[in-house]
């Protein structure tokens, strides 16, 4: 399937359950890749994946696909889309500036070490993760709602000193 330049949105479940779909080619920027776009499809390969770097894409777009199964961690541009690493400690690479929506959903990691240059944490980024402690770097200027939702083992959080006065921070 070729998605031509000019298409800016892949709507919810557009290719879901299409078992014969093996490859998509993106020819231009996609602004929104909604939840479950490729869910349970046969998708194995994405050509032009860099065109998703600015979009609202999450692991939910790809769950149940060979593409999702083959990529334990997915980083597009400077955005960590998902990380399913089952290590006790996960170190997020220095080039990551944004943690995506549900990026660490149900992660088994006890510690997730975020880079000092991180700028944004999207909604529900650590939802239901087993993390016990977290250090949010001072460089984070925007954090979405519910970033620690369902984190029942979380005991210690270090937030930037002035986080209460920062715009762009939602309740966590």
How far is residue 37's CA from residue 46's CA, in Å, rounded to a whole number?
Answer: 13
Per-residue tens of pLDDT for the chain, all 172 residues: 999 999 999 998 999 999 999 999 999 999 888 889 999 999 999 999 989 877 678 878 898 999 999 999 999 989 999 999 989 999 999 999 999 989 999 999 999 999 999 999 999 999 999 999 999 999 998 898 999 999 999 999 998 877 666 666 665 4
What pLDDT, on the 0 to 100 scale, is given for residue 157? Answer: 92
How far is residue 84's CA from residue 98's CA, in Å, rounded to a whole number?
Answer: 17
How far is residue 50's CA from residue 46's CA, in Å, rounded to a whole number?
Answer: 9
pTM of model > 0.85? yes
What pLDDT, on the 0 to 100 scale, is given for residue 166? Answer: 63
């Amino acid at each position: 399937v070729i998605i031509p330049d000019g298409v800016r949105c892949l709507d919810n479940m557009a290719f879901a359950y299409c078992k014969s779909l093996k490859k998509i080619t993106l020819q231009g920027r996609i602004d929104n890749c909604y939840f479950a776009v490729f869910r349970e499809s046969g998708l194995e390969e994405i050509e032009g994946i860099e065109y998703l770097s600015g979009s609202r894409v999450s692991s939910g777009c790809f769950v149940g696909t060979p593409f999702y199964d083959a990529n334990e961690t997915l980083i597009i541009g400077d955005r960590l889309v998902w990380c399913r690493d089952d290590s006790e400690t996960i170190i997020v690479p220095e080039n990551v500036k944004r943690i995506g929506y549900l990026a660490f959903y149900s992660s088994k990691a006890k510690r997730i070490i975020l880079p000092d240059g991180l700028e944004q944490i999207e909604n529900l980024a650590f939802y239901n993760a087993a993390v016990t402690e977290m250090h949010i770097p001072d460089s984070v200027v925007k954090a979405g709602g519910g970033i620690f939702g369902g984190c029942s083992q979380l005991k210690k959080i270090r937030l930037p000193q002035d986080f209460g006065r920062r715009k762009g921070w939602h309740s966590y």
